[in-house]
Amino acid sequence: MKAHHILIPTDFSEQSISVLKLANSFVEDLGSTIDLMHVVPVTKYFAESFAHIGYPYDLEKELYPKALNVAHKKLESLAKKYIKKEHRGKMITIIERSPSNAITHQANSGKYDLILMSAKGEHATEFLRGSVTEKVIRHSEIPVLSMDEPFDEKGLKDIMVPLDLSEVSFQSLPIAVQLAQMYNAKLTLFHSVELYAADVEMIPLYPPFDNVEAVRQSLLNKVEDFLAKRKDLNFKFVRDEKEDTFSIDGTFDGKAFSIEVIPEISKGFSANRDIVEYANEHADLIIMSTHGHTGLTRLFLGSTTEQVAQHIHVPLLTVRPSKVKETKK
């Protein structure tokens, strides 16, 4: 996984600071440079109210500069405590009405490879997936790794990759393979058949809904086809039909690897509920595309990925497929 330049937003809450502990693993494994960022929120109502009552401070000339200075010193203190000197990047402080807009703008324009952030912030609500973190996931053009609390690297044994059989959903697979190789984990390729949610757009994409084995084989064939097309990855899907076992083999940084692959098919009422229930019980990390069936109404983002992000209790790494554009809401 390419993560040479990482952006970590923090609101200085215990939850958001805790992810800095995970950053050390990326530094050691990938030689990353880490920029820390804090957004000083501002509201028009707050500024106008101060002006109306004749408050003796000018927000722009006095309070905001002081707030930025305090925030910068806090970032420097966190960097010294959690990040080795040779891996420290910029300490970024900014005043912005919308923290999520500030974070995504910085990430999308700063040549970063990854945003690493807490799912919850101060009071467990400010960064809750569904508000700031969810909006960052929605609008970020680079992968976003969000979590309630840092995962234990030694306990990272099962990486779950939800796939809807569309080409764009498979774009999360290369990163999943690389992380599985890095942490010696297996990959669970998860597909949910929504029994009562199928529409005419989906019919050509699926084998018969009542045949789980046909769906399973279709998923495996899609994996094989995807990796065969991506010759740049140097990954190969390996089947042992006799033993009914599967793996993804290849080389990464000159080292050969073989990753166990487990296909998991679920039949239920909604994909997001199936993914959440399986992830919370079995997975140590979930990696998924922010979009599904491209060009159709069934986008992961705004439906499946959004719902999963709000309800899972395990770390979530979202990957935005290439050539996907979305109007901000």
Q: DSSP characters for 153-167?
A: GGG--EEEEE--SST
Neighbours of 86 (CB within 10 A): 8
Q: What residue has token string 């009405």?
A: 97
Map residue 58 onto helix, strand or coil.
coil
pLDDT at 151 over 60: yes
pLDDT above 50: residue 124: no
| pLDDT single digits (tens) 158-193 | 999 999 888 888 999 999 999 999 889 999 999 988
From 105, 94, 100, 97, select the one nearest 71 (Cα to Cα). Answer: 94
pLDDT computed for residue 155 by the predictor = 78
Structure tokens at 269: 């009422």
Here the tokens at position 136 are 């960052």
With a CB cutoff of 8 Å and minimum separation 6, the contacts of 199 are 298
Q: How far apart are CA 209 and CA 198, in angstroms?
A: 9
In which band, very low, low, confident or very high, does the pLDDT at 17 lie, cut at 50, 70 and 90? confident
- pLDDT given at position 301: 46
pLDDT for 242 equals 83
Report the range of poorest mean pLDDT among 46-50, 109-113, 229-233, 256-260. Answer: 46-50
Q: What is the DSSP letter of 196?
A: T
Instruction: Show Cβ contacts of residue 164 under 8 Å, excluding neighbours closer than 6 positions.
Output: 191, 192, 271, 292, 293, 298, 300, 304
Alpha helix (H) residue ranges in the chain = 14-18, 20-30, 44-52, 64-82, 99-109, 132-139, 173-183, 212-229, 271-282, 305-311
Percent of the chain with pLDDT over 90: 40
Local confidence band at 126 (pLDDT 50, 70, 90 cut-offs) = very low
Residues of the chain above pLDDT 70, percent: 77
Q: Let me know: does 131 contact 125? Beta carbons within 8 Å.
A: yes
The Cα–Cα gap between 301 and 292 comes to 8
Tokens 């003796």 belong to 56
Residue 134 pLDDT level (bands cut at 50, 70, 90): confident
- Measured between alpha carbons, how far is 216 from 197 in angstroms, rounded to an integer? 19
Hey, is 275 helix, strand or coil? helix
- The residue among 49 and 225 whose pLDDT is bigger is 225
Q: 241 or 81: whose pLDDT is higher?
A: 81
1-10, 216-225, 300-309: segment of lowest average pLDDT? 300-309
Which residues are paired to 94 by β-bridges? 39
Q: Indicate if the pLDDT at residue 51 is higher than 80.
A: no
Q: Which two tokens stand for residue 209?
A: 């809904």
Give residue 148's identity as a one-letter amino acid code: D
- On the question of pLDDT at 46 being above 70, the answer is no
Least confident range of 109-118, 143-152, 229-238? 143-152
d(CA 204, CA 298): 14
- Tens of pLDDT, residue by residue over 281-317, are 999 999 998 865 543 334 444 467 777 887 888 999 9
Q: What pLDDT shows up at residue 1?
A: 63
Q: How far apart are the first and last CA of the chain?
A: 30
- Average pLDDT of every residue of the chain: 80
Q: Is the pLDDT of residue 145 over 80?
A: yes
Residue, of 45 and 275, whose pLDDT is higher: 275
pLDDT of residue 130: 43
Predicted TM-score of the model (pTM) = 0.82
Q: What is the tens place of the pLDDT at every residue in 248-286?
A: 999 877 889 999 999 999 988 788 889 999 999 999 999
| Residue 102 pLDDT | 94
Answer whether residue 152 shows pLDDT above 60.
yes
Instruction: Identify the CA nearest to 269 among candidates 242, 221, 304.
Output: 304
